[in-house]
Structure formats: C-alpha cells, structure tokens
Amino acid sequence: MSSHNSSRLHAAPAGGCSSGQMLLQPSSGQMLLQPAWDLLRSREALTQSPFFPVIFSITTYVSFCLPFVALDLLCPRVPALRRCKIQPDCTPSARQLLCCLARTLYQHLVFVFPLTLLHWARGPAPLPAEAPALPQLLGHVALCLLLFDAEFFAWHVLHHRVPWLYRTFHKVHHQHAPSFALATQYLSAWELFSLGFFDTVNVALLRCHPLTVLVFHTLNIWLSVEDHSGYDFPWSTHRLVPFGWYGGVVHHDRHHSHFNYNFAPYFTHWDRLLGTLWHPHAN
C-alpha cells in the first residue's frame, strides 16, 4: 500500500469567537497540543508552501524505511533478526532497493508535486490559532484510518477480481514478493493517485484540523511501511491491538504470498465479513 501520500496541511474551519464575543478558555486537551501547534504555525512559510507536501511525504517515508533497510542488511548475519523475519531466506538486493526508491522519488516529482502546486495556486487557507482537543484529534485519526481501510479494501478487491485492472494498475505492486519496506510505494501512478484521493477526501469530509491531518498522514505512512517490512516483532502494531482486530505485517505478508486473501490494509473485519481472511486451510 501504499502509502505513500500528498500530505499538505489543510486548514479546517476554526470554531473561534468573533471579535465581539468573549474568548473561551481552551480545554485541557487543547492545552496539551497547543505548544506543538504553535510551533508548526511559527513555520507557516514552510507548511503552507507548495513544496511541503512532497518534502514531508518523502522524508517521512524514507525515515520510516531506513531502519528496515538496515535490518535487511544485518539479517543474514544476525540470528535474532532472522527469527523475527517472516520469510528469513528472502532479502532484497541493492538493485531492488534502489529501484523502489527511484520510483518513489520520480512519482512524487512528476505526479504529487504538480497536484500540490495546483492546490497551492488556489490560495492556502489561513491556519486556525487553536489546536484541536486531544480526544477530537484521536477520534478523527481513528475514523480516517477506518474509512481508508474500507475504501482501499473495496479498491483492492476490485483490482484483483478484474483481470484488466490488475494487469494494468495493480500488478506492479506485486512484482516484489515477498515485500520489503521500500516496496511500500512501488505503485502504479493510478494506485498512488487513488490512495492520495482517499486520504484527501476523508480529512475533508471529517473537517479535520490541520494538526490532525499531519498526525493521520504520519501514522498512515508508518503503518503502510510496517505492513510491507517483513518483520514480526513483539512490539509490532498487530500485537498491541487485542482480539486480532488489526492484521498488520503478518496479515499483509500473507496477501503477497496468498494472492486472493487479506485485502484490507490494516484491520481484519472486512476480510472476516466477506470470507477473504487467510486461514491455515485456505486453498
């Protein structure tokens, strides 16, 4: 999955008071986030520039991938790492790593940057003065993840079930099997656009605060990279979420090796409901 995403700070309408009204005291949740939001607002020249989405997306993505690249280099010589690697005998070559990184950089330059430039040309909206309340931020991030999970599940099933869609748009992502971290954004332009569209629509529908948008995109990139990393650690996300609700890296690695199962990127409820969750006796 991609992740891989256009991450511009979209300003949500600020529900502040007019000049003739008494200003409300910020809640404790807002006070927790206000220093971080004030710091971001002080960098408004950067965050509101057309370059920020590309800079943010690439640097966040590469920063999350690099530790796994280092682990891939060490894995053949470190038995403890081999025990945590889902497919320990499969290690990406330097050529594969560079090819995936080059594709990510190319697509961000050729596709993501022109789109963010067009958006910026419309005029950036002013950033609200107040940070969101912490419960609001957490709730919106959770909803964005659930919406994205449902949208990509439907897109993913469709692009596997219709042979022309698979061959034309999604097959490129399955060229690296088993997967590894830098293969997360090894996507066709259409898949990259679709994922970015889901992200953008969801935060707009929920009228997310710009800080919430930034947190959501950061988390979404991390979860996508972890899903493709090929490492199942004791602290991996799927081990922290109870009752098997979150599939994580094991869930997605099985999708790359068992083609017709585990279509949801993160959670397992859609695959459970529609009978596409992999189990040991699956054909």
| Count of CB atoms situated within 10 Å of the CB of 26 | 14
Q: Tell me the mean pLDDT in the region 212-235.
A: 97
Radius of gyration for the chain, computed over Cα atoms and rounded to the nearest angstrom = 20
The phi, psi pair for 153, rounded to 5°, reads -55, -50
Contact 7, 217 (CB under 8 A): yes
Q: Sign of dihedral through CA atoms 235, 210, 138, 133?
A: positive
Give the model's pLDDT for residue 118: 87
Give the model's pLDDT for residue 26: 60
Cα(224)–Cα(156) distance, rounded to whole angstroms?
14
Half-sphere exposure of 15 (CA within 13 A, CB side): 8
Which residue type occupies 50? P
Give the model's pLDDT for residue 126: 84
Model confidence over 230-265: pLDDT tens digits?
999 999 999 999 999 999 999 999 999 888 899 999
Cα(69)–Cα(71) distance, rounded to whole angstroms?
5
Q: Tell me the mean pLDDT in the region 146-150.
A: 98
Q: Tell me the mean pLDDT in the region 103-126.
A: 88
Cα(31)–Cα(74) distance, rounded to whole angstroms?
43
The phi, psi pair for 231, rounded to 5°, reads -115, 130
Model confidence over 152-183: pLDDT tens digits?
999 999 999 999 999 999 999 999 888 999 99
Give the model's pLDDT for residue 25: 57
State both tokens at 23: 């200003």
Cα(128)–Cα(121) distance, rounded to whole angstroms?
20
* Residue keyed to tokens 């590469």: 62
3-state secondary structure of 262: coil
| Percent over 90 (pLDDT), the chain | 75
| Percent over 70 (pLDDT), the chain | 88
Half-sphere exposure of 33 (CA within 13 A, CB side): 22
Give the model's pLDDT for residue 28: 64
Task: Select the more confidently predicted residue: 66 or 125.
Answer: 66
Q: Tell me the mean pLDDT in the region 130-148.
A: 97
The phi, psi pair for 246, rounded to 5°, reads -115, 125
CA dihedral 96, 56, 63, 249 (to 10 degrees): -70
Model confidence over 14-25: pLDDT tens digits?
444 444 444 455
Mean pLDDT of the chain: 88
Cα(232)–Cα(86) distance, rounded to whole angstroms?
6
Cα(55)–Cα(266) distance, rounded to whole angstroms?
25
Cα(174)–Cα(90) distance, rounded to whole angstroms?
15
Which residue type occupies 122? R
pLDDT at 282 over 60: no
Give the model's pLDDT for residue 248: 94
Contact 176, 230 (CB under 8 A): no
pLDDT at 225 over 60: yes
